[in-house]
Amino acid sequence: MIKILKNSTEIAEFVQNISLRGGENCGAEKVALDIINDVKLRGDEAVNELTKRFDCENLEYYEVPKNAVDKAFYEADEDFVNALKRCKVNIETYHEKQVRAGYEIRQENDVILKQRVIPLDKVGIYIPGGTAPLFSSVLMCAVPAKIAGVGEIIMATPPRSDGSPNPDTLVAAKLCGVDRVFLCGGAQAIAAMAYGTLQIPKVSKIVGPGNAYVAAAKKLLFGEIDIDMIAGPSEILIIADDSANPRYIAADMLSQAEHDKLASAVLITTSEEIANLTIAELDKQLKALSRGEMAAESLKNYGAIIIQDELEKAIEIANLIAPEHLEILTENPFEVEEKIRNAGSVFVGEYSPEPLGDYFAGTNHVLPTNGTARFFSPLSVDDFVKKSSSIFYTNEALKSAASDIILVAEREGLTAHANSIRVRMG
């Protein structure tokens, strides 16, 4: 069911294999490009036709009315709403620490240099639907946007098969202050928010998870708008020694394997006994899962148990894979954490399982995948602001710098640059 790997050649081949799970699969970019061009040309008409083709025949709303959002919120189960509120408080507490204020430098001759931090005016968030609608992503996207001071939040989410919105997604949207909600999904929703249509506003940035077609559309439209990252299938990597609980390991591997058949769950352990006990637990726990068939396929194709004789080698492989989620189940987990350089989010100790970060702890669950944790970061308040620089020089200050500027400009052959300074020196 799941591969056991020990030698370096096998491990290298596996790492290469899991890196090829992303946007190139199933011709996603070609399909997304055709959809983008159609939406650019025909706007709302194209979006509605594509919604009928891919999601439902009869759409209840294109833009969900505010009274429908309110109705979903006030009719929702009280325990569910209160749980979301507690999650929101933790997410706010964590993300409020990320707020930047800019700075000002005053130099001699009254020179003033500034960096200004400016919230984006309009942001689009994409919330997946399907068999596992990720309404928790509304909190993860909208809360940091609100903290950053974004002017307007536009949400796109696919309708259910009967054409109605998912009520739990609407509850989260109401709770987080999302301004407008549109029922459309896939690459067509990304294109509509990127270009703007008669009904869907053009946004400055699009954030949020999605399938291969959503990821491909975001990649293709980067430059027309900004994006958070190009997300691939979900993944978890667990580092464990002989002190780890195989029951916990198996449960946490399956928590990601159930996402879809392209998800990846990897255990790297220094204990062959833990490896064997984890395999037995995977077999046992799979039988009780509603999405067990999906999880089993994921484990077969993109799962692995890697056995190493030293913890340092396990850490080295983990940094090479650069996983979305990394759990540390070792005797001294904080020592291991200090050596992790490449991971989207790190979960330290046996009582910090990955779903804690998905919903409740407060850290963001919109994370870099597919090895991009080498250079991408989790979604944060920084994603919803831009920075602008400002310069003020007096006449005397410019005179003191003029000869250096003129020398450098003329050395580059840009004589008009030099002249812009020189004309002020008369």
Active site residue 325: yes
Q: Which neighbouring-strand residues pair with 347?
A: 327
In the structure encoding, which two tokens stand for residue 124, read together? 């689009």
In the structure encoding, which two tokens stand for residue 301, read together? 């194709």
d(CA 111, CA 251): 60
Say which of 95, 259, 281, 325 is annotated catalytic. Answer: 325
Q: Which of 189, 137, 25 is nearest to 379 (CA)?
A: 137
DSSP assignment of 325-342 equals EEEEESSSHHHHHTT--S
In the structure encoding, which two tokens stand for residue 251, read together? 């449960």
In the structure encoding, which two tokens stand for residue 378, read together? 């989790």
Do 374 and 322 form a contact (C-beta atoms < 8 A)?
yes
Q: How many degrees, rounded to 5, is the angle at CA 170 between CA 166 and CA 176?
A: 145
**Secondary structure class of 268 (helix, strand, coil):** strand
* Residue ranges of E strands in 98-194: 103-106, 112-119, 122-126, 152-157, 180-183
d(CA 238, CA 351): 13
Do 160 and 166 form a contact (C-beta atoms < 8 A)?
yes
Q: Which of 66, 175, 51, 173 is nearest to 124 (CA)?
A: 173
Burial 245-275 (b: 16+ CB within 10 A, else e): ebebbbbbbbbbbbbbbbbbbbbbbbbeebb
Q: Which of 160, 172, 155, 154 is nearest to 129 (CA)?
A: 160
Say which of 29, 258, 281, 324 is annotated catalytic. Answer: 324
Do 324 and 367 form a contact (C-beta atoms < 8 A)?
yes
- What DSSP character marks residue 199? S
Distance of CA 261 to the CA centre of its chain: 19
Q: How many degrees, rounded to 5, is the angle at CA 108 between CA 106 and CA 109?
A: 105
> Annotated active-site positions, please?
324-325
